[in-house]
């Protein structure tokens, strides 16, 4: 497995720690899941599909990545 180092500010580290604790996982797994999710969303957008957040049958918002 390849290893790399990133620098993050305190706020990002706190958020990452919270997410890892909520998931009962590690910060590394949270980052891997985030990259996998981003990749999936970008592929859907590239195919002209819209990914939406819904509540019941109502679309609350569309997810648009830069």
Residues 48-58: what's their mean pLDDT? 95
Count other C-beta atoms under 10 Å from residue 37's C-beta.
10
The residue whose two tokens read 């899941």 is: 33
Q: How far apart are CA 23 and CA 29, in angstroms?
A: 10
**What is the tally of structural domains in the chain?**
1
4 inside domain: no
Domain that holds residue 26: 10-63
Asked if 21 contacts 13 with a C-beta cutoff of 8 angstroms, the reply is no
In a domain, residue 5? The reply is no
> Would you say residue 20 lies in a domain?
yes
pLDDT band at 1, cuts 50/70/90?
Answer: confident
Does any domain span residue 14?
A: yes
* Calpha distance 12→28 (Å, rounded): 13
pLDDT tens digits, residue range 18-52? 999 999 999 999 999 999 999 999 999 999 999 99
**Is residue 28 domain-resident?**
yes
CB count within 10 Å of CB 30 equals 19
């Amino acid at each position: 497995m390849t290893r790399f180092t990133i620098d993050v500010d305190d706020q990002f580290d706190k958020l990452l720690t919270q997410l890892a604790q909520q998931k009962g996982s590690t910060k590394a797994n949270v980052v891997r899941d985030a990259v996998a999710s981003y990749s999936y969303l970008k592929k859907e957008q590239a195919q002209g599909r819209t990914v939406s957040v819904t509540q019941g049958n109502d679309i609350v918002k569309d997810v648009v990545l830069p």
